[in-house]
Structure 1
Amino acid sequence: MKWTDTLDIAIALVEHHPDVDPQYVRFTDLHRWVMELPGFEGDPNKSNEKILEAIQAAWIEEMD
């Protein structure tokens, strides 16, 4: 997975953090959690607020 795989990342976050409400996750935590996902190969310096917002939005949608 790379930073642009927002849906795949969101699904993995649902599986790895099922009790977390993504609406209240800080971007610093979100960045760290994405980097810790198995199979994630993105460059930590290639993320930005727009990407993290897209991941968070996809995660929220997956929780519904």
Structure 2
Amino acid sequence: MQLTWTDVQDIAIELYEKFPQQDPLKVRFTDLHRWICELDEFDDDPQGSNEAILEAIQQAWIDETQ
């Protein structure tokens, strides 16, 4: 499965599985962006994100931790 920036929930699940001890609220957007781009399944233009997309992914990741 190839992930793109629109796969917010799936990216959040991947991040949760890869970084289970990480508090998503303490992740800087620069790190979040890099971690997403480094996911094995991620296949999209790194420049295709924006603050709203990263916020949505961060919120979905927070939801996964609860």
Count of aligned residue pairs for this structure pair? 64
RMSD over equivalenced CA pairs, Å: 0.4
Instruction: Give the whole-Å Cα distance in 1 for the aligned partners of 2:8 and 2:53.
Output: 8
Does the residue aligned with 2:36 lie in a helix, a strand or coil? helix
Percent identity (aligned): 61
Q: Please point out which of 16, 20, 23 is paired with 2:25.
A: 23
Q: Structure 2 unaligned runs (5+)? A: none
Q: What TM-score comes out, normalization by structure 1 length? A: 0.98
Post-superposition, which runs of at least 4 consecutive aligned residues in structure 1 deviate over 4 A?
none
- 1:38: how far off? 1.1
Q: Structure 1 unaligned runs (5+)? A: none
Does the residue aligned with 2:17 lie in a helix, a strand or coil? helix
